[in-house]
Amino acid sequence: MFNNAETDFLKWIYYHLAIPFFGRFPVIHLFKVFSYFAKWRKEHTGKFQVVNSREELYSAVLGRYADQNIDLLEFGVFRGDSLKKFLNLNKENNSRFFGFDTFTGLPETWNDLTRKVPAGTFNTDGKLPDIGDTRVGFIKGKFENTLPGFLEKFKSEGDLIIHIDSDLYSSAKFVLESCDHLLTKNCVIIFDEFYSLENEFLALHEYCAISDKKYKVICGTKNYVQIAIIFE
Ligand SMILES: C[S@@+](CC[C@H](N)C(=O)[O-])C[C@H]1O[C@@H](n2cnc3c(N)ncnc32)[C@H](O)[C@@H]1O
């Protein structure tokens, strides 16, 4: 019925005008998010490895790259707990790990159905984690300020893994849109709060709907708290 240009135009109207407009009405917004998630579950449930903890998920994902150089970009570092686990799972000298964070906490309040986590939570007073691994570089500041400059210079040298653990919808959406050119076949993304439907899940849903990117889920914890996807 529609050609590609018309479909793209309708999508643009839907995601840039209709969604932000209806987003002002919480009930409609939630109904929309739940209906996206119901469709997502139908499409993916039963098709990926389910594990018991995020540590098991990290092992399952990074185990695919044992003895290979990887580039791992982590968005949301805090004290470096997840980053340290990734470093232990890949010991290759030429792997590179980049940790992005304000190190002054969440830039805005994180709202989801079950809680409100105020801006400033996860503040380390600007202190970087003491990691002692020369493969790690930290990029301090809001992603919105630091990521564009980083990406101008960054060339991926190994398999690319992205860890999104920044909780907020706005942060996940910004990372996905900014890294669009890197999100190609075989790039992996691990989401840490996927079950927070109005945040990471919604950001991924909208990003893929607009960009037409396709992915497979490779691993997830119970109740979809964390999931890992690979682009096709
Ligand atoms: C849950 S913590 C990360 C936890 C860490 N990965 C771990 O396993 O301990 C979320 C972090 O995301 C950071 N963050 C969220 N949005 C951000 C943004 N737009 N720019 C920079 N940092 C952001 C916060 O400062 C916070 O430290």
Residue-level pLDDT at 171: 98
CA of 53 to the centre of ligand 1 (A): 20
| Residues 169 and 110 sit within 8 Å (Cβ to Cβ) | no
Sort residue 218 into left (φ over 0), alpha (ψ -120 to 50) or beta.
alpha
Taking CA 182 as the corner, what is the angle to CA 157 and CA 174, rounded to the nearest 5 degrees?
130
Least trusted range by pLDDT, from 19-28, 79-88, 103-112: 19-28
For tokens 């101008």, name the residue: 152
CA of 104 to the centre of ligand 1 (A): 9
Residue-level pLDDT at 13: 74
**How many Å is the Cα radius of gyration of the chain?**
18
> pLDDT, tens digit, for every residue of 177-219?
999 999 999 999 999 999 999 999 999 999 999 999 999 999 9
Question: Which residue minimizes the CA distance to atom 14 of ligand 1?
Answer: 166
Exposed, middle or buried by CB within 10 Å (0-12, 13-18, 19+), for 172?
buried
Give kind and range of the element (H or E) at residue 215: strand 215-221
Nearest-atom index, ligand 1, CA of 144: 19
Residue-level pLDDT at 22: 66
In this prediction, residue 3 has a pLDDT band, given cuts at 50, 70 and 90, of low
Sort residue 58 into left (φ over 0), alpha (ψ -120 to 50) or beta.
alpha
Reduced to 3 states (helix: H, G, I; strand: E, B; else coil), residue 141 is coil
DSSP state of 210: H
The answer for residues whose C-beta is within 8 angstroms of residue 20's C-beta and 6 or more apart is: none
- The predicted model gives 124-129 an average pLDDT of 98
pTM of the entire structure?
0.91
> pLDDT, tens digit, for every residue of 27-42?
778 888 999 999 999 9
In this prediction, residue 20 has a pLDDT band, given cuts at 50, 70 and 90, of low
Nearest-atom index, ligand 1, CA of 174: 19
Residue-level pLDDT at 19: 67
Question: Which residue minimizes the CA distance to atom 27 of ligand 1?
Answer: 78
Question: Using N-to-C axis directions, what is the helix angle for 169-178 and 143-153, rounded to 10°?
Answer: 20
The answer for residues whose C-beta is within 8 angstroms of residue 148's C-beta and 6 or more apart is: 178
Residue 16 in this model has a pLDDT that exceeds 80: no
Please give the torsion angle defined by the CA atoms of residues 50, 56, 58 and 61, in that order, rounded to the nearest 10 degrees.
-50
Residue-level pLDDT at 10: 74
Whole-number mean pLDDT of the chain? 93
- The predicted model gives 16-37 an average pLDDT of 77
Residues in contact with ligand 1 by the CB-under-6-Å rule are: 76-79, 81-82, 101-102, 105-107, 122, 142-144, 165-168, 171
In sequence order, the β-bridge partners of residue 220 are 50, 227
| Residues 114 and 77 sit within 8 Å (Cβ to Cβ) | no
User: Which ranges of the chain would DSSP assign to H, the alpha helix?
Assistant: 4-13, 19-22, 26-44, 54-62, 81-89, 143-153, 169-178, 202-211
For tokens 């340290």, name the residue: 84
Residue-level pLDDT at 51: 98
Reduced to 3 states (helix: H, G, I; strand: E, B; else coil), residue 175 is helix
